[in-house]
Amino acid sequence: MNQLQNDRFLKAALREPVDRTPVWIMRQAGRYLPEYRKTRERAGSFMRLCKTPELACEVTLQPLQRYALDAAIIFSDILTIPDAMGLGLEFVEGEGPRFLHPLSHEKDILRLAVPDLSGLSYVYDAIRLVQHELAGKVPLIGFCGSPWTLAAYMVEGQSRTGFPRLLKMLEEAPILLHSLLDILAQAVCAHLNAQIQAGVQAVMIFDTWGGMLETGNYEEFSLYYVKQVTAELLRHYNNRKVPVILFTKGGSRWLEQIARSGCDVIGVDWEISLNEARLRVGNGVALQGNLNPACLREPPEVIREEAARVLASYGRGSGHVFNLGHGITPDVPPDHVKVLVDAVHEFSRAYHVPGDSQ
């Protein structure tokens, strides 16, 4: 693998000194970019875009051609595992992901098994293509949904407010739900490890729906299985430590527990200041976040002010990866992203002194 020209993101994720705060953006390859929309139209469907390595590579690299981002993230979807399990993932315009064969009965769950990773080879092929094209420019991030988040979609069949079928299973058939989550934890770990072996230098676990739970259930049904994943991940590969980012939307209630999950970086949404988050987790983990994506619809001077505010909230030293508190939305003007990226690099220099990691 090529020597990295810019390893600022990896260093910050491991709380090592950097010259300025690295920045990347969740969903940075997406619908806000006109070039993405053209490639998506050429693919014919979202799933064909995901499953065609050459096209997935193309859209992964598109934001890097526009902006001075410090990391790329492979273009894929958090729900590739259940699709490989035979649930039939499709995307309906205006509705989002939907499974043709959701887990409607107990027998559907009992016959599930960890999928053959050959069914996910398109992800690994795309990673290898991206790494060849990046040629060491910046690190590449791989990702997957958390076991709880995957289960939410698999049981419900699609995103539905409150996920009532899933919560009914939690109350009435917790042992069956644990069985499902255990299989998913094994599958998530295998998929992330295969991405690491294909060439990603960091991985991210999206626990998108963990925040819908109350504390006891979050620890039992979500965080417990994330810990199973992190315990079995390849943490060193190609003579380099592989950082693990955990993002739980609405997870600011549990920062202390998340910091003990085995992750290296906690993704933080905008419901809490980075200053408070840093005080609560101490020096054990890095933080990623946490600009509200809605800010990117504001005028450039507001974006610069908000970037400065987020940087000041974290303060001096390494251990901060600048990002949004959730994914970028399709209505963001592309030029506004450049304003943000450039502002982060400009303003963050003052917070980094050579040799200062605190």
The one catalytic residue among 67, 153, 218, 225: 153
Closest C-alpha to 232, from 288, 286, 182: 182
Q: Given the structure tokens 């993405």, which residue do they identify?
A: 36
Q: What is the mean pLDDT of residues 139-151?
A: 98
* pLDDT at 357 > cutoff 60: no
Query: What predicted TM-score, i.e. pTM, was given to this entire model?
Result: 0.96
Judged against a pLDDT cut of 80, whether residue 93 lies above it is answered with: no
How confident is the model at residue 198, as a pLDDT? 98
**Whole-number Cα distances in Å, 352 to 41, 310, 314, 317, 319:** 43, 15, 12, 5, 11
On the question of a cis peptide bond just before residue 2, with omega within 30 degrees of 0, the verdict is no
Do 149 and 210 meet the contact criterion of CB atoms below 8 Å apart?
yes
**What pLDDT shows up at residue 3?**
85
- The pLDDT value given to residue 232: 97
Q: What is the DSSP letter of 50?
A: H
Please indicate whether residue 27 is annotated as part of the active site. yes
Encode pLDDT of 99-120 as tens digits: 999 998 999 999 999 999 999 9
Q: What confidence score (pLDDT) does residue 353 get? A: 79
Report pLDDT for 351: 97
| CA-angle at 2, arms to 318 and 141, nearest 5° | 50
7 is in an annotated binding site: no
Which distant-in-sequence residues (6+ apart) come within 8 Å of 281 by Cβ?
Answer: 255, 256, 259, 266, 287
| Residue of 15, 20, 27, 278 with catalytic role | 27
CB atoms under 10 Å from CB of 81, counted, come to 26
230 marked among binding-site residues: no
Q: What percent of the chain has pLDDT over 70?
A: 98
Q: Where are the domains of the chain?
A: 8-351
Confidence of residue 355 (pLDDT cuts 50, 70, 90): low
Query: Which residue has tokens 């997406």?
Result: 30
Map tokens 């060849």 to a residue. 132
Position 196 pLDDT exceeds 80: yes
Rg (CA), the chain: 19
31 is in an annotated binding site: yes
Helix then strand then coil, in percent of the chain rounded to 5, is 50, 15, 35
Could you read off the pLDDT of 329-347 as tens digits, one per residue? 999 999 999 999 999 999 9
HSE (CB half, 13 Å, CA atoms) of 5? 9
- Output b/e per residue, 340-352; b: 16+ Cβ within 10 A: bbbbbbebbeebb
Confidence of residue 149 (pLDDT cuts 50, 70, 90): very high
Encoded tokens for 330? 């399709």
What is residue 250's predicted lDDT score, i.e. its pLDDT?
Answer: 93
Percent of the chain whose predicted confidence (pLDDT) is above 90: 93
pLDDT tens by residue, 256-276 = 999 999 999 999 999 999 999
Phi, psi for residue 272 in degrees, rounded to 5: -145, 145
pLDDT tens digits for range 272-310: 999 999 999 999 999 999 999 999 999 999 999 999 999
Q: How far apart are CA 170 and CA 347, in angstroms?
A: 46
Query: Which helix (H) or strand (E) element contains residue 228?
Result: helix 224-232
Say which DSSP state 23 is in.
Answer: B
Catalytic residue, chosen from 7, 70, 77, 207, is 77
Alpha-carbon dihedral angle through residues 29, 349, 202, 183, given to the nearest 10 degrees:
-80
269 known member of a binding site: no
Mean pLDDT across the stretch 188-205? 98
151 is in an annotated binding site: no
Catalytic, 77? Answer yes
Residue 358 has pLDDT above 60, yes or no: no
Q: Please state, in angstroms and rounded to a whole number, the distance separating the CA atoms of residues 350 and 311.
A: 10
- Look up 128 and say whether it is catalytic: no
Task: Answer for the pair 259, 223: CB distance below 8 angstroms, yes or no.
Answer: no
Q: Is the confidence at residue 356, as pLDDT, over 90?
A: no
Residue with tokens 């020597």: 3
Summary mean pLDDT of the chain: 95
* Banded model confidence at residue 1, pLDDT cuts 50, 70, 90: low
Q: Where are the alpha helices (DSSP H) in 89-160?
A: 106-110, 121-134, 147-156
Judge contact between 149 and 19, C-beta under 8 A.
Answer: no
pLDDT at 160: 84
Catalytic residue, candidates 8, 20, 40, 278: 40
What CATH class is the domain 8-351? alpha beta
Query: Is 77 assigned to a binding site?
Result: yes
